[in-house]
């Protein structure tokens, strides 16, 4: 029977406690799971283990996992154009965009606008799709689509399943995995988000990224703080509005590892988790994307920390982090899954990923070998 290294776990918890004790972060949660069970569930600061957090883009795999279920049913073919499933999507040259490209963030509309409240209905989403234009030819570049891609996936889910996408995520993923609903409307509110810390200086940015200012994207502090609004949480923004505990994230990734009750068709799951389909470079750092069909793979090129996994996971580890420090992954080599959530939105774009690298690196070695 595999067991945890208690010394390693203590180091992990101590590292998570550091910023809370220093007054930088108001709270955090961290969880480890193994063999389908939680083995660590810790809350630090102004939170308990049942506190919920907005996990931002760590939401995306729940929507992708719903797509895996529909692919396994034969209801969706990733190779087909989105327009096969969403009437009217193909305006302004988007008729060539495939479902796979949307799931790989190579679709060509990374900044296509759609406000959360406008995305609450199918009509609102499809009206926005009709206005969207391509920034580049689909499939030729990789640029992270913070919310646009998953608005499209939500609409595909609704069109194919004939039900609200949030209900379908619950019915096909979280309910059978034994997890609570994670996309609104929900009976609980998330811990209030707070902006903390200060921005990096131009010299710090140049040393870290080779630029003196970061590109402007839709992932601004104001946009993230907007998720404090009850109406926005109720929408369940599919690319970033999931509300959950670290324990829910860790248990979700146990389901990805173990496929309980054949939640997904085994060959579809193996492909979605194990096959990298997008190795195009990330624009700012040049790091290959290493994206599978809805997840990110750590890879064996020594750049796993650049993809949010730390430095000690196996090359086959997969997951998807969220804005401002949310961490979530599993490692098929060890069977461990790890999640970390915080409601402190660190404004420093170097300190925050360094914290994530440290936490994930410590978490990955918590198993006795």
pLDDT at residue 235 greater than cutoff 70: yes
pLDDT at residue 181, rounded to an integer: 98
Strands 194-196 and 344-346 turn out to be parallel
Helix (H) or strand (E) holding 42: strand 37-45
> What's the confidence (pLDDT) of residue 210?
83
Q: What are phi and psi of 311, to 5 degrees?
A: -115, 0
CA–CA distance, 318 with 308 (Å, rounded to integer)? 10
Give the list of residues 6+ apart from residue 270 with CB closer than 8 angstroms, or none.
none
Architecture of domain 6-363: 3-Layer(aba) Sandwich (3.40)
Give the separation between CA 255 and CA 122, rounded to whole angstroms: 29
The whole-number pLDDT of residue 219 equals: 82
Report DSSP letters for 105-146, one per residue: T-SS-TT----TTGGGSHHHHHHHHHH---SS-TTS-----S
Distance CA 317, CA 48 (A): 28
Q: Where are the domains of the chain?
A: 6-363
- Cα separation, 92 vs 72, in Å, equals 31
User: What are φ and ψ of residue 148, in 5° steps?
Assistant: -60, -45
Positive or negative, the CA dihedral 103, 107, 109, 112 is negative
For position 291, what pLDDT does the model report? 98
Q: DSSP character for 33?
A: E
Alpha-carbon torsion (207, 209, 215, 220), positive or negative: negative
Better pLDDT: 199 or 108: 108
Taking alpha carbons only, the member of 6, 16, 67 closest to residue 238 is 67
pLDDT value for 209: 81
CB contact at 8 A, 296 and 315: no
Tens of pLDDT, residues 88-145: 999 999 999 999 999 999 999 999 999 999 999 999 999 999 999 999 999 999 999 9
- Please compute the mean of the pLDDT values over residues 212-233 and round it to a whole number: 90
Q: What is the mean pLDDT of residues 315-324?
A: 97
* Element (DSSP H or E) covering residue 345: strand 344-346
Q: What is the pTM of this model?
A: 0.96
Res 307 pLDDT > 80: yes
Which contiguous run of DSSP H or E holds residue 330? strand 327-331
Mean pLDDT value of segment 23-47: 97
In the prediction, which pLDDT does 1 show? 61
Higher model confidence: residue 234 or residue 212?
234
pLDDT of residue 70: 98
């Amino acid at each position: 029977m595999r067991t945890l290294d208690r010394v390693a776990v203590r180091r992990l918890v101590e590292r998570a406690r550091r910023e809370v004790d220093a007054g930088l972060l108001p709270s955090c949660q961290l969880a480890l799971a193994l063999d389908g069970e939680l083995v660590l569930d810790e809350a630090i600061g102004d939170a308990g283990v049942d506190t919920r957090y907005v996990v931002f883009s760590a939401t995306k795999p729940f929507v992708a996992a719903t797509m895996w279920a529909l692919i396994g049913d034969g209801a969706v073919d990733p190779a087909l154009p989105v327009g096969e499933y969403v009437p009217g999507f193909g305006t302004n040259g988007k008729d060539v965009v495939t479902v796979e490209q949307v799931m790989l963030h190579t679709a060509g509309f990374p900044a296509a606008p759609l406000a959360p409240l406008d995305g609450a209905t199918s009509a609102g989403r499809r009206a926005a799709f009709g206005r969207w234009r391509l920034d580049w030819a689909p499939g030729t570049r990789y640029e992270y689509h913070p919310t646009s891609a998953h608005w499209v996936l939500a609409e595909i889910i609704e069109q194919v399943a004939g039900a609200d996408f949030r209900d379908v995520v619950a019915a096909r993923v979280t309910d059978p995995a034994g997890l609570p609903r994670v996309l609104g409307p929900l009976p609980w509110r998330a811990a209030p988000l707070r902006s903390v810390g200060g921005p990096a200086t131009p010299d710090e940015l140049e040393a870290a990224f080779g630029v003196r200012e970061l590109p402007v994207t839709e992932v601004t502090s104001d946009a993230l703080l907007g998720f404090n609004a009850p109406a926005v949480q109720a929408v369940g923004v599919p690319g970033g509005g999931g509300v959950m505990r670290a324990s829910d994230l860790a248990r979700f990734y146990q389901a990805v590892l173990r496929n309980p009750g054949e939640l997904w068709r085994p060959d579809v799951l193996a492909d979605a988790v194990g096959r990298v389909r997008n190795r195009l470079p990330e624009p700012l750092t040049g790091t290959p994307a290493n994206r599978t069909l809805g997840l990110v793979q750590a890879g064996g090129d020594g750049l796993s920390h650049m993809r949010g996994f730390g430095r000690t996971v196996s090359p086959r580890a997969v997951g998807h982090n969220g804005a401002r420090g949310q961490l979530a992954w599993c490692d098929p080599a060890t069977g461990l899954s790890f999640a970390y959530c915080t409601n402190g939105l660190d404004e420093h774009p170097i300190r925050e990923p360094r914290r994530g690298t440290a936490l994930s690196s410590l978490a990955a070695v918590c198993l006795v070998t």
